[in-house]
């Protein structure tokens, strides 16, 4: 699964990029199909809810993409390297670049633009050997982050909605099952692609084995599923109150993100946009945003969310309709509990046995420390050493390194760095 050196770009990376856009389009197509089915059935409320998920998520992605393009086009060595980029970005006047980019994002095409340029650039690097791999790697890092945002701002809420409707109606339509499958595929691909992207930032990268990828994917999915199930079950008996629950919890999580002094974006408004997204992700899953030992923060989060999910499930159990739910209530609750406990067990197992380990060398006083010691693949090419993807590099630094560990020795692969 790995291409070896983090600065290499292989056919595997190109395939992952192509499959990434395919899963995105499949997910989008499934959403539009679900919306159309609701419209044809006369369920205009659900029709509007599904479309609102799609449009709100798309708007958020375009805003992030726009912020990043504005920053990237100001870099000294930023130069369009593909036909698509040349048409849209090549201009002696930086204002002209921004005007074109703004128009693309207003029409909700900025995310697809990134995929098109990443595939085109990747093809030139791998097949034609015409370009350096750095720009393609840079683009795939940003795409993995945007897919993470898309999964939790659209796929996960959509999955919760479909489960709620099935529970509420006590039956499942074909299009609802397709939507659930599409959401699971989207979330699964996001987890794997994001993990691969972070792995590219290891200074001395071990091979990303299939076993570690499977375990990483499973513990994330097993921890997300009970949370989604708890929210869907609570919504089935108190639909008006789930919005209030979300807003109150989201506001508290937003304050927690602010308290951790995140520094992901290049501007104040952009940073607050990022914190709002972090709070949304936290509503469903843990996501590390700060450097240093994260065991304490992770423990606080999991304890709080387990208590919250328990309250949601307890409320549903107390107010449910016994005639409708008695035949599946016990197996369902046991399945959710087993999924959560197994997810925690696999998470501990991953950080004990599968989390990649590196050796960070000790440098004597007065020695020059290589700039790419931590962010090896942040320097895309030898020709463009200043074009570095600091966004994903900062997250990788939080994921793989602990500030409490002394220089020299294995600095990752321990429970103190448990992040997602």
Q: What is the pLDDT of residues 329-360, one digit of tens each?
A: 999 999 999 999 999 999 888 878 876 654 44
Q: Does 241 reside within a domain?
A: yes
Structural domain contains residue 175: yes
Within a domain: 403: no
406 versus 187: the higher-pLDDT residue is 187
* Coil/strand/helix, residue 260: coil
- pLDDT tens-place string over residues 44-73: 999 999 999 999 999 999 999 988 888 877
User: Residues 355, 399: contact at Cβ < 8 Å?
Assistant: no
What confidence tier does 379 reach under pLDDT thresholds 50, 70, 90?
A: very low
Q: Is the distance from CB of 343 to CB of 418 less than 8 angstroms?
A: no
**Torsion angle, CA of 398/147/211/138, rounded to 10 degrees?**
-60
The β-bridge relationship of strands 409-410 and 359-360 is antiparallel
Task: Flag whether 367 is in a domain.
Answer: no
**Predicted structure pTM score:** 0.81
- Within a 10 A sphere around the Cβ of 325, how many other Cβ atoms? 18
386 in a domain, yes or no? Answer: no
How does pLDDT run across 80-93, given as a tens digit for each residue?
A: 555 555 555 555 45
- Residue 204 or 171, more confident: 171
Could you tell me which residue, 156 or 16, shows the higher pLDDT?
156
Tell me if 42 is assigned to some domain. yes
The number of folded domains in the chain is 1
Kindly state whether residue 246 falls inside one of the protein's structural domains: yes
Q: Is the pLDDT of residue 293 over 70?
A: no
Q: Is residue 4 part of a domain?
A: no
Q: What is the pLDDT of residue 373?
A: 27
List the single range of 87-96, 186-195, 217-226 with lowest mean pLDDT.
87-96
**Which of these, 44, 29, 30, 65, lies nearest to 145 by C-alpha position?**
65
Q: Domain range holding 19?
A: 11-357
Residue 77 has what pLDDT? Answer: 58
């Amino acid at each position: 699964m790995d291409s070896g050196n983090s600065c290499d770009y292989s056919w595997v990376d190109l395939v992952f990029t192509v499959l990434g856009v395919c899963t995105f389009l499949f997910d989008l197509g499934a959403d539009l199909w679900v919306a159309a089915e609701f419209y044809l059935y006369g369920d205009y409320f659900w029709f509007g809810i599904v479309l609102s998920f799609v449009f709100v998520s798309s708007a958020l992605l375009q805003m992030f993409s726009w912020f990043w393009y504005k920053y990237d086009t100001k870099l000294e060595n930023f130069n369009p390297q593909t036909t698509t980029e040349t048409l849209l970005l090549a201009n002696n006047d930086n204002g002209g670049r921004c005007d074109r980019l703004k128009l693309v994002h207003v029409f909700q095409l900025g995310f697809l633009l990134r995929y098109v340029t990443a595939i085109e650039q990747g093809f030139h690097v791998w097949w034609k050997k015409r370009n350096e791999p750095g720009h393609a790697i840079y683009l795939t890092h940003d795409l993995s982050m945007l897919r993470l945002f898309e999964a939790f701002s659209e796929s996960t809420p959509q999955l919760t909605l479909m489960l709620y409707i099935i529970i509420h109606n006590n039956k499942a339509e074909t299009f609802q099952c397709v939507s659930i499958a599409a959401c699971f595929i989207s979330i699964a691909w996001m987890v794997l692609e994001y993990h691969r992207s972070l792995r590219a930032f290891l200074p001395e990268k071990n091979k990303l084995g299939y076993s570690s990828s499977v375990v990483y994917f499973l513990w994330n999915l097993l921890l997300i599923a009970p949370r989604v199930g708890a929210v869907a079950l609570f919504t089935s008996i108190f639909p008006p109150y789930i919005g209030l629950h979300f807003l109150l919890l989201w506001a508290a999580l937003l304050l927690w993100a602010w308290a951790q002094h995140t520094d992901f974006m290049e501007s104040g408004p952009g940073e607050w946009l990022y914190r709002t997204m972090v709070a949304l992700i936290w509503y469903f899953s843990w996501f590390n945003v700060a450097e240093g030992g994260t065991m304490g923060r992770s423990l606080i989060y999991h304890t709080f969310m387990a208590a919250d999910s328990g309250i949601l499930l307890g409320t549903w159990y107390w107010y449910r309709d016994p005639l409708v739910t008695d035949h599946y209530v016990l197996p369902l609750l046991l399945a959710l509990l087993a999924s959560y406990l197994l997810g925690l067990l696999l998470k501990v197992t991953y950080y004990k046995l599968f989390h990649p380990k590196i050796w960070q060398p000790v440098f004597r006083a007065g020695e020059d420390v290589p700039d790419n010691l931590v962010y090896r693949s942040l320097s895309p090419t030898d020709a463009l050493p200043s074009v570095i993807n600091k966004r994903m590099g900062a997250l990788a630094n939080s994921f793989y390194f602990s500030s409490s560990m002394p220089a020299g020795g294995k600095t990752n692969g321990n429970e103190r760095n448990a992040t997602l």
